Amino acid sequence: MKKLGTFAGVFVPSFEAILGAVLFLILPLLVGAVGLVNVVIIVVLANTATLATAFSIADSSSNVKKVGAGGMYALSRHSLGMAFGGSIGIQLFIAQAASIGFYAVGFAEPLQQFVAQIPAVTRLIEAYSIPVLVQKQLIATAIGTIALVAALVGADFASKLQTVIFVILVAAVALVLLSPLFQPINAGEPVFTSTPLARGLIPGIGFWAAFATFFPAVTGIDAGVGMSGNLKTPGKSLARGTFIAIAVTFVVYVATTVVFGYIRHDLLTPAPGYTPSTINIFMEEPVIMTVLLTGILFATGSSALSYFLTAPRTAQALVRDRVLPRMFRFLALDFVRGGREPRFATVVTFLIFLPVIWAGDIALASLIVGICFLVVYAWMNLAAFFERISGNPSFRPTSKGHWLISLYGFVICILVIVLFDYRIGFGVMTAQLILFYLLLKYRAGNMLEGVWWGLLFTVLGWGMKRLGSIVQGTKNWRPIVGVFGFADSEEETHRLRTMAARIGEYRGYVAVNIMCPKKVDPETVTVPTGARLIRSSEDRFGTSIRSITQAATPGGFKFNTVIVPLDSRLNLTDLIEDLIGDHVNVILARHGKVEAGAERIDVYWKGKENGNLMALLAYIISQSWRNEKKGIAATIRIIRKLQDNEDRDEAQAEMEELINGARLEGDVLLLEPGDEPFPETVSRNSGDAALILMGMPGKPMGPLAQMFELDELFFTKQIQQYEGMPPMLFVKASGVFDLFA
């Protein structure tokens, strides 16, 4: 298949799609509605949106070695990944296919009144009482069928046909611009006057309504961009052809607006049986009329043909990128074995737009498809904006764009959607995001690709640099949890990860570190997503934990809490004392069995040194529990064993003040003093709990929580007394937490 250059591959399709029915059939009405100056402003404003999109296209196309087929889908896929780009591509294909129906109807609109006057056709209409709408639909179906045949012949033939149409369209546009020199007549009077129409003549059509009516004309750049897979040098041709097409059509629209602004005012005002259009304005000039009618027909027919070429190639690209399921793979095939033309997709395109033609009033369908195109253009601009601000070293476009240009293109596309119909816009966006979710889950393995990593890296980097200059106190404390497990204790490590996730993922951050003894082959270890494997000798596990927690990080974003298992390979007494000395909270996890239906967290409170942190952790875990159980939060119970001669009422008031003042939802349980061993007390009162939080065994050496002495033998014996209990967290705070902050 012959590759196309900038002129035939990009400029001509875009030129013909932009200068279609709007120029000849709608622009005179808009000039009459809001006046010459306002229409010029509308043309300028609308073209800024496509110009910004052209810069985004240039950024994306000049940054990749091979663009591939699919036009804007291919470009967005390179930046936004397969899932997000695929959702855009599916939406784009449907919009491209459906838009052929609108162009076919636009072709039939001016032709019907002439075809109906042919004697043989007139007799047929009278014999079968064919309504005017059906006549237009039959003509539209005929032109759609002709475009189908031309597309099936191949892109080479269609491209040559478009070149012929281009010449005819240029002649029609030139005739409009030169028409004042011919002094045409309408109803016995000159068509043109010497006084321009400064103000609108039609009440009820405001500036923004006129803008929304005109804007779809400038979105025709997709017709050229969609030929990306058939270009010799897409990296250069896409940007160059699109910029030239925008520039040339902008000049044409401004010039023709000025010409229409000098047309006799009564000819720009609708009347019964009369609509301001070039057909009706120049109806009494046979030569001008013939050329204009030919230009209109060829322009609308060419637009239909352009999308007949681009839509199947978008579908073909979606199949080749495995965005669509296997059942749709026939869309990438040709009728001939080894052929590269997407002829099956061409037939499917025909079957999509045919119902659009026969839908009756296609205004709503036209609005939906127009918004679909705007959503695609919005994402195209946002993708380029993301690429610019992400700072990815791989983003090295040869274009000279700027992130503000792409951001402007995105904003104006969204504003135009709101002008059209914000409800339909919301529906289209929702449908596209649902497609994204399905593709992400079933086609991309829940893994994002493209610019997202670099974008998040940039945002996080910006925040990290500023975290170092902000004091972290109790008020803004978040659990930044490092969990350390062993590769040869997979089940235990999984439980540690689960508990750490409950503590950290609600409002904090969790990092999983799996320590791999030298006797274990790292290749046999399954490392969870986001975790890292640490190789170490048997006597250096504690050193590894200390090194990781003490390591310098950007913005001072380091662990403030560590969760470790009960494992004899860790010298827990020395490790805990060292971590506490580094102002790191330590949680020793001891796993147990949970009874069915247990939904209570018991916190054994002995003082504010550890108790306040445990109460805060219990609240965090209960909220994570709420997310897991879909709204059912675990209840919290603060348990305090009274000392001899301690006043019960005072203790009750103190604990209730703690609960209420700290805004914690929970109950208070006071236990009477006695000689019963504490482990037995815990077993009797909390054997049915889902989780128990308790201060870490040890001997306080002063009023500060950091002063803490551990004896390994004493420590081990204390922990062993809680065998057969529910899961327990032994907590040692590195400081006193103010729950009232």
561 with 584, same domain: the answer is yes
**384: pLDDT strictly greater than 60:** yes
pLDDT of residue 707: 45
Q: Is 460 within a domain?
A: no
Q: Is 155 within a domain?
A: yes
**263: pLDDT strictly greater than 60:** yes
**527: pLDDT strictly greater than 80:** no
Q: Residue 552: which pLDDT band, with cuts at 50, 70 and 90?
A: low
Q: Once rounded to an integer, what is the mean pLDDT over residues 117-121?
A: 84
487 with 602, same domain: the answer is no
Instruction: Pull the structure tokens for residue 729.
Output: 């967290």
Q: Once rounded to an integer, what is the mean pLDDT over residues 388-401?
A: 79
Neighbours of 597 (CB within 10 A): 8
pLDDT of residue 710: 57
42 with 188, same domain: the answer is yes
Angstrom distances, CA of residue 51 to CA of 5, 48, 72, 394, 405: 21, 5, 15, 25, 9
Neighbours of 94 (CB within 10 A): 20
484 with 628, same domain: the answer is no
**Least confidently predicted of 140-149, 322-331, 653-662, 704-713:** 704-713
| b/e 161-189 (16+ beta carbons within 10 angstroms → b) | bbeebbebbbebbebbeebeeeebebeee
Q: Residue 421: which pLDDT band, with cuts at 50, 70 and 90?
A: confident
Q: Residue 705: which pLDDT band, with cuts at 50, 70 and 90?
A: very low
pLDDT of residue 177: 92
pLDDT of residue 633: 66
Question: Exposed, middle or buried: residue 43 (CB in 10 Å: 0-12, 13-18, 19+)?
Answer: buried
525 with 376, same domain: the answer is no
Q: Which of 294, 160, 310, 140 is nearest to 221 (CA)?
A: 310
**714: pLDDT strictly greater than 70:** no
**Least confidently predicted of 381-395, 521-535, 719-733:** 521-535
Share of the chain above pLDDT 90, in %: 13
653 with 719, same domain: the answer is yes
598 with 574, same domain: the answer is no
Neighbours of 193 (CB within 10 A): 14
**281: pLDDT strictly greater than 70:** yes
Q: Once rounded to an integer, what is the mean pLDDT over residues 360-383?
A: 81
177 with 264, same domain: the answer is yes
Provide Rg for the chain, Cα atoms. 36
**704: pLDDT strictly greater than 50:** no
Q: Is 462 within a domain?
A: no
Angstrom distances, CA of residue 176 to CA of 182, 257, 559, 728: 10, 10, 73, 85
Q: Residue 136: which pLDDT band, with cuts at 50, 70 and 90?
A: confident
CATH number at residue 634: 3.40.50.620
pLDDT of residue 706: 46
Q: Is 463 within a domain?
A: no
pLDDT of residue 294: 84
Q: Is 453 within a domain?
A: no
**Least confidently predicted of 13-22, 567-576, 692-701:** 692-701
pLDDT of residue 270: 86
CATH number at residue 261: 1.20.1740.10
Angstrom distances, CA of residue 101 to CA of 132, 142, 684: 17, 11, 77
pLDDT of residue 407: 94
Q: Once rounded to an integer, what is the mean pLDDT over residues 31-54?
A: 92
Q: Is 450 within a domain?
A: no
Q: Once rounded to an integer, what is the mean pLDDT over residues 423-444?
A: 90
pLDDT of residue 244: 94
Average pLDDT of the chain to the nearest whole number: 83
- Alpha-carbon distance of 336 to 347, in angstroms, equals 14
Q: Once rounded to an integer, what is the mean pLDDT over residues 177-204?
A: 86
> Do 107 and 341 contact (CB within 8 A), yes or no?
no
> Do 695 and 734 contact (CB within 8 A), yes or no?
no
254 with 319, same domain: the answer is yes
Q: Is 147 within a domain?
A: yes
**Least confidently predicted of 173-182, 277-286, 353-362:** 353-362
74 with 16, same domain: the answer is yes
> Do 279 and 146 contact (CB within 8 A), yes or no?
no
**Domain with 643 in it:** 592-741
pTM for this predicted structure:
0.73
> Do 481 and 113 contact (CB within 8 A), yes or no?
no
Q: Is 95 within a domain?
A: yes
Angstrom distances, CA of residue 328 to CA of 154, 234, 266, 319, 669: 21, 27, 54, 7, 64
Of 442, 459, 492, the one marking the end of a domain is 442
**477: pLDDT strictly greater than 80:** no
**709: pLDDT strictly greater than 60:** no
Of 545, 571, 590, the one marking the end of a domain is 590
pLDDT of residue 54: 92
16 with 78, same domain: the answer is yes
Of 558, 590, 622, the one marking the end of a domain is 590
94 with 205, same domain: the answer is yes
Count how many residues are written for the chain: 741
Give pLDDT tens digits for 607-647.
777 778 888 888 888 877 766 665 566 788 888 888 888 88
User: Number of folded domains in the chain?
Assistant: 3
> Do 587 and 563 contact (CB within 8 A), yes or no?
yes
> Do 500 and 580 contact (CB within 8 A), yes or no?
no
